[in-house]
Each structure stands twice: as C-alpha cells, then as structure tokens.
Structure 1
C-alpha cells in the first residue's frame, strides 16, 4: 500500500481559489476523511490526488514518488462517486469485471475475483441484474465492488453514501469501515456529514474555504476544536457561542457576556489575558454542557431564558432557549418537562466550556 502527501496545494479556477495552500499527509492503510461544507474544496482535493485536476501549484507524492503530473491511469487509484457511475446496459457482474477486462485478465481469474468481492459485499445474488433492477444501496455496493476488485493502492470515495436512505446509510458506514480495515488500503473519504466522518475516520481534516482548519482524530476534534469554525461544525446540535469580554474589577475577574457573567480566578484570568490578542473573546458551550434549571443557582455563570421550542428525541430532549433575538440549545433528560414560553435558567460550567479569541477565531483554552 501507499502513503499520500500533499505539499502546499493551490487550485484556482480563474479568479476563484478553490484550494488554498493545503498540506497534509495520509498514512499508509489509514482511513482519512476530508470533512467540510459544500464548496469548501474537499472534492477538488480528491480530484487532484486522483489526477483528474492538475494543481495550480504544489506537489502530490505517493510514498516518496512525485506524481503531480502523472496521468490518472498510472496512479493505481480507484474512485467511487455519489452517483455510482455504473454502465446501465451491463449486469452487475460485467460492471465489476470491466476494469479487469480492460487489463486483459484471463476469464477464469475475472470470474474468481468478481465472485470473491461479491461474496465480501454480499451481492452475489445481484450479479445477473442490471442497475435499473437494483436499489440505491445495491448499486453503491456494486460500485464499491468494482473499485475493490482492481486491488488499487488507494481508494478515493467522494460522498458515496449521499444517495441512499438513512437506515441503509447507517449500515453502510459500518460496512465501509470494516472493509477498509480488512483490505488495509489507504482510503481518502470525502463527506459533508460529520456523523460519517466521526464514526468512520482514523483521522479527519476539516476543510473550510479551501483551507485546512484542523487535522485530528475524531474524539480530539470534538473535545479540542482548534477554531470557531471547527467548534461550530463538529457536534450536533452545534456548539452555543457567547460573545464576551475579559473584565477586571478590583480583585474580581470575570467573562462578561452582557446578560451573564462567569467568574474567573486570578490565575485563569492571567492565562486568558496572556493568550488572547485583546479583551474580546467567544465562550463556547456544547448543548449537553448547558445545564437547565428552574431556579437560579447561588453563583454567577447563569442566565434566564425563554423556552422557544422543544425537540423530544426519545433518549434526550433538545430545548431551544431564547434570549432577546438569539437562540441557544440545551440537551436535557427525556423526562424534563418544559412548556413553550416558560422561563428557565441556563447554567454554564467553565470547566466544560471552550474559549476562543474573537479576532483570530482560534481556541485559547
């Protein structure tokens, strides 16, 4: 197998910079996810790795071999798309066998390889069918089989689960993850779905506006987001953000958000002041860490809010809390009863919060 290295990749389409100085390294046999919203540049990065798009500048390496200008057919990669890209007039068997026939494999070996991969993906019963006779999930497994049967050095998967229903998507996430571990093939997976990324990836690169915001393991991305964008993009419901200022009054120190204050000890205040570029900060609190009560606690770090909407989800309930024109979300136990318009108190635990520099948008705690 092979590792992949991108060095300062830039891709421009006329005046639009789609990829802006991306450098990253994907380890041998790693399941690496490019995660970001639509238009962030993640599919363009994948196309550059595949050789379908030349970079405007920068280099691509497979192991230590420079492949920046190597044509796609010589890179030994296999790609699976959101739209399956199956030949409609061919059976599943013929679709899977197609890359082997192009390489002039013997008939007996083609039959053996196709049946092996069909067994692996549990689609042997589909081999005689054409794409119009299959469901979306079945077509996607045939497309995966066609990629696997080639035994490429690298798998490139571009939103492969987007066109299948939610129940099958959950199943296919586990199947893809298991397959990748069994096959031990370096895999680059593009998605806008954070659940896919967190549940499947060994590491994740969060992409925004053509730049890498953070590369880390899934749990570290969730627990230690490096920027405001990552903090707001990873996690569902998304993190709550409160603009605040770092204040000092005599021997008292606090974060002042206007409608509430969070007291700080002197040591923590000095830590924040030394790391921040100014007094303006952003306090980030995940909905599960925003504690909802009906009575105000004796300490600071709490604010009154109106219950704007209630979302019961069975295992938990999401409360939408309104303060002026802003909505904040809190996750509570399913038996927590709240009425629309009811006044409640939301409490902030600084030990479970994140603090960002408002100017740089980078985490300082």
Structure 2
C-alpha cells in the first residue's frame, strides 16, 4: 500500500520517513516528464518543506523517535511538481504526476495544493478550461487504474456551495486581479474534479478550523488540520497545530487543510490495507461514524472520520471514502515558507516553529 505525496518533494533521508519511503514509486515531474533518478523527488531546499511535512503525517514510522504518522505501516512516495524558480504547480507537472502514480501502482495520492495560476478555473474561458480538461483526464486515468485521490479544500474560508465567491488571488504568476466567480462554473483543480475526495480542516475541539474552506454537498470529509487561533489543546505543547517531519531531520508545527488531507489519506490507506480489493458503494459510507455538532452545513452532514471504528466495523470491499473533490492552497498562504510553493495549502506564514 503506497500513498504518493504530489507536492514540493519529500526528504526521504529523514529518519522518520526513510523506513517507509518507496523510491521506486517516486519522481520529479517538473517539466511534464518524470525524472526517476536517485533523489530527484527531494525538495530543492529546506524552504520547500511542505511535501515532507505532509508525508510524515501520513506514514512517519513508529520507530521510537520523533512522530508517528496516521498509517505508520504503509509506504509513502514523493512526486515533486513545484517549479524550482517560483514554486508554482503548473498543469503539465500535475498531469505527469497523476499518470506516473497510476502507472507505478500507487493506490492513493494526496494533493494539498491547487493547480496554478488560477485558484478557480472558469469553464467559459478557453485557457482555464484547457487546464481543467487536461488535469481531469489525467486524474480519471489514475482512477480507472484504481488510484484514490484526496485533496485539501483550501484555506480561504470560502463556501464552495455558495452562489458567488470573490477571488482576489488569481492569476498568481502575475499581478492578481479581483473577480467574482460562480463556484458551480469555476472549479478549484484538482479539488473539485469528479471522484476526488475533498477534505476540510478541523481543530482539537472538532470544530471547523477558522481558515478552512467548506461547502455542504461539495466537501466530503473533515480531518485534523489544526487551529492555533481558536482551538488550543490541553497538552504540554499548548499548540493547536500539527507536528510532523521537515527536511534535514527536523520537525515543525503547521496548520492548514494541507495537514487535514494527509490525515484523511492515512485513514484511507489503513482502510484499503485492511480491506483490499475494488471498492463498492456503501450507503452513508462517505460520512463515516460519529456526528460532530460543530460541522453541520460545513461538510456532508457534519461528520468526521474515526479510523479505529472504521477498521473494526466495516466489511471487506465496502467503500469508505467516496471519491469526489479536493483542492490546494496558493503559495502565498504557506505556513512559514518564504517565497516558495504559493499553491501549497498551509496557512499563517508567521506561525512556523521548528524543532
């Protein structure tokens, strides 16, 4: 069972990741062609930490040091798609990543980003529609080969089920303008593509994180992404964010729907490991057990996944996460990153802490 992190690269030399890393299913897809040479999947610099943090949340080994991922017994791969000059996630890179993942037997992909340069791609614009069509063909190709995609909903606190959204961040490869879009006609790619599981973020109180994009009937599940502003835990750290791996053997606290999606991807990996084989629809399965009163009207109907119950209570072959939609966040919102990966979805650039 392998989860591929499509992102800024993964530092497989980290002691918490080395044991579970799958080099044979990793690559650098920048430029639209997969480079599988040794280490090509690694981040350019320590500032490109986003993918390494995501990978640790999924599959950091239970080895007595550092942290343990949601699914510490599965493999994790890295498919790098961020441009070395500006950190953008261009369509050709993401297309390459989905096709590479499918052709190399990856069962699950995590996508904590959006495809640049548009936060929302409108179908009445030929250029933006071409982005949607190209990425959609690639991710559907992977789905047909058995790959499940999960994606972060975004950190703009947008309601994807509303009639209108103000987008003032696009295009992010030049001077952005302000436009009002119809979210039923303009989509976040790959978040809102067919069959992609869209993940919103919650804090320790099981309430929606203050920054998380949401939308009843659009967002599929919610998972821990952190909320340092309003939801602080009663723990020694007193930190409401997510602790995970960083390049060069480090660790850091981050928050964002970028952190929520890998939590859900880890649960999906546990479920697919426990119940292998092609999924079949199960009524109500996408909602999962355990209604959360803090989420009605935010996700499909106010529920959050509980991995232990899912592993104990489901039958082999049942579909537990219904593939639908996912999104990625602009590079300008990256937690703690200086001018890197504007499309990777983490928030609060002044709240990065390393250890």
| Higher share in helix | 1
TM class, shorter-length: under 0.3
Higher Rg of the two aligned structures: 1
Query: Which structure has the higher relative contact order (CA within 8 Å, separation 6+)?
Result: 2
TM-score, structure 2 length as denominator? Answer: 0.26
